[in-house]
Structure 1
Amino acid sequence: MDVTAPRVSERRVHIVPLGHERDRIVEPLRRHRADVVYLLADAPDRPGERGAVDFDVDFDDPGATRVDPNALTDYQRDAWETLDEFAEVRALPVELADVYDVLGVTTTVAARHGAGDGSGSGRGGHTTVHDSDRNGHGGNRTGRDRLFANVSTGPRVAAVGVAMACMIVGARPYSVEPETHHHDVREEPLTAGVERTVDLPLYPMDAPTHDQVAVLGRLYERSNEDRTTDKWNLIEWARGRELAFLKEAGESRTAKYRALETRVLDPLRDRGYVELEPVGRSDTVHLTGIGRRVFFAFQHKLDE
């Protein structure tokens, strides 16, 4: 999770399924000082279209939100009440066993906070905000939020829906490992029986291109040798390997720089895979930790 201190105008906004958990819901939000928490409460028979969210209700009135506290367990109510002591809590009715409902509600909340509209960086869920106040009255607020989502606290289908929504809109998912379990999973299975199977939606994800993976690999090699790499070094290296982005660039030095930036470095930087450090008249290109893992995941493209 991104734990850097927010700017004055930023808020930390979290989306959290209210599953059969207490500590894994509350403690990460307390430790990382959440400002706004959307609790996704299970409501299999809720009215309205799947994925729809009513932002105009009074979130301080559970009756208005259509989330019935009496239908919750004691520890779920305790989690809600504890969160309300340090964060603004907005309970939303969601059918947690319906991946499309979870996906739709999460992306709708993200859109409310500006995620995926091109205003955020796509890294760490930075978003421009068009939000309502605590009592649900509509209105715009100038500022930026950071959007996060807990994938640990609901059923597996809900975790998939939340995680997919994060990938689609550029929010930051996080997982919370429990300190203890109530029974030893080495001795007993976690569940028993099968009620049904559920087909999950398929969404195409943008994988890095062959050239982008090749550049990530070059940066990985150079970092292992403790050597810096600038843009011209990458261009010279790419020319020796006849990478496609240079073949279409033309012969001028300016055209080669532009091709490297637009076809390779800009997409990698936008996704957080590389960072650029100005040094003199050039930029040193650094591989990030995420970029290293992405290279490992997609290095098979270099054999295609």
Structure 2
Amino acid sequence: MDTSVPSVAERRVHVAPLGHERDRIVEPLRRHGADVVYLLADAPDREAPRGAVDFEAAGAADPVDTRVDLDRLTDYQRDAWTAAAEFASVRALPVELADVYDVLGVTTTVAARHGAGEEDGDRLFANVSTGPRIAAVGVAMACMIVGARPYSVEPERHRHDVRSEPLTEGVDRTVDLPLYPMDAPTTDQVAVLGRLHERADDNVTTDKWNLIEWARERDLSFLREAGASRTAKYRALETHVLSPLRDRGYVELEDVGRSDTVRLTETGRRVFFAFKHKLGEE
């Protein structure tokens, strides 16, 4: 793990799934001087959209005021929360740990909140050892996208009955995981996915010209230098937005009369939830 000294204004922010662990959550935070800790508590029935984060509730002083279902937590999960709060600011977030896109979206939203990867932002670290494998994948993918540091924690000993005790005990060492760049959708592409999602929810079809008119009203960047002609606008939409989204399986086109209907795929819907933090407060 990167242990170099941060600047005066820089904070170390950690994300850790609150799985069947105690020591592997708490000890790396303590050893490496975590300032802010986001614990991802499993919420398999949560109704919020994938990737949604209520930062105000997460920062509540009383755990009862967070959106986490405290009755679902084991004694050792509660203890991990309490122990981390002794030396760091802990914020608990409900996340469906079995949904890779929810984990991915929440982690990237946290990263955006703290300006991770930006010159004046905080440093973001994420523990991929303390939740189910799907959660680990979501956290690791988020780190690749935002340029954060994932780390793995190897236990000293293993236990087996997670209903009564943590799966492991103690910490042997932490291991850096490799970083790989990920070709994330652009802000314009995420915005178009959001438009398609909104229209689909209203059972309204969307053609290319509808997207162009909508993008023009919102001054999306792909149209700014496209030229005034209708043909140029179509070409810009296809080149910068639809073609890349179609190649990745996020949208589909259907010929309807003289126009093309653009449809959002289920994969595209999930990708929108994972990357909607790019749209900021919108």
Normalization by structure 2: what TM-score? 0.55
Q: Which residue of 2 aligns with 1:9?
A: 9
Which residue in 2 is equivalent to 1:149? 126
**Would the aligned equivalents of 1:83 and 1:89 in 2 still touch at CA under 8 Å?**
yes
Structure-2 change in CA distance of 1:204 and 1:114 (3 Å): closer
Residues 89-168 of structure 1 aligned to structure 2 (within 5 Å): 89-116=90-117, 119-120=118-119, 128=120, 144-168=121-145
Residue 181 of structure 1 corresponds to which residue in structure 2? 158
2:116–2:123 CA contact under 8 A, matched in 1: no
Q: CA deviation at 1:7?
A: 1.6
Instruction: Please state if 1:44 is matched with 2:44.
Output: yes
CA deviations 1:87-106 (Å, max 9, x no partner) are 00000000000001000000
Aligned to 1:229: none
Structure with the bigger RCO (C-alpha within 8 Å, sep 6+) is 2
- SS for the counterpart of 1:176 is strand
**Contact between 1:59 and 1:91, CA under 8 Å: does it hold in 2?**
no
1:99–1:9: structure 2 CA closer, same or farther, 3 Å change rule? same
Letter of the aligned partner of 1:22 in structure 2?
Answer: R
Which structure has the greater CA radius of gyration?
A: 1
User: Residue by residue, what CA displacement relative to the aligned partner does 1:231-281 show, whole Å, maximum 9, x if unpaired?
Assistant: xxxxxxxxxxxxxxxxxxxxxxxxxxxxxxxxxxxxxxxxxxxxxxxxxxx
Q: State which drifts further: 154-163 or 40-49.
A: 40-49
Amino acid at match of 1:3: T
Structure 2 residue runs without a partner (length 5+): 161-166, 168-179, 184-282
Which residue does the alignment assign to 1:70?
Answer: 71
SS in 1 for 2:122: strand
Q: Give the equivalent residue in structure 1 for 2:148.
A: 171
Q: Say if 1:16 and 1:37, in contact at 8 Å, map to a contact too.
A: yes
Deviation at 1:114, TM superposition (A): 1.1
- Describe the shift of the 1:38–1:112 C-alpha distance in structure 2 as closer, same or farther (beyond 3 A): same
CA deviation digits over 1:10-60, x for unaligned, max 9? Answer: 111000000000000000000011000000000011121110001122422
Letter in 2 for 1:73: T
| 1:69, distance to aligned residue in structure 2 (A) | 2.2
Q: Any idea what SS the aligned residue of 2:91 has?
A: strand
Q: What does residue 26 of structure 2 align with?
A: 26
Deviation at 1:115, TM superposition (A): 2.4
Distance in 2 separating the partners of 1:63 and 1:49: 22
Following superposition, the deviation at residue 204 of structure 1 comes to: 8.0
Percent of pairs identical after alignment?
80
Tell me which amino acid in the other structure corresponds to 2:30.
R
Could you tell me which runs of 5 or more consecutive residues in structure 1 were left unpaired when the two chains were aligned: 121-127, 129-143, 184-189, 191-202, 207-304
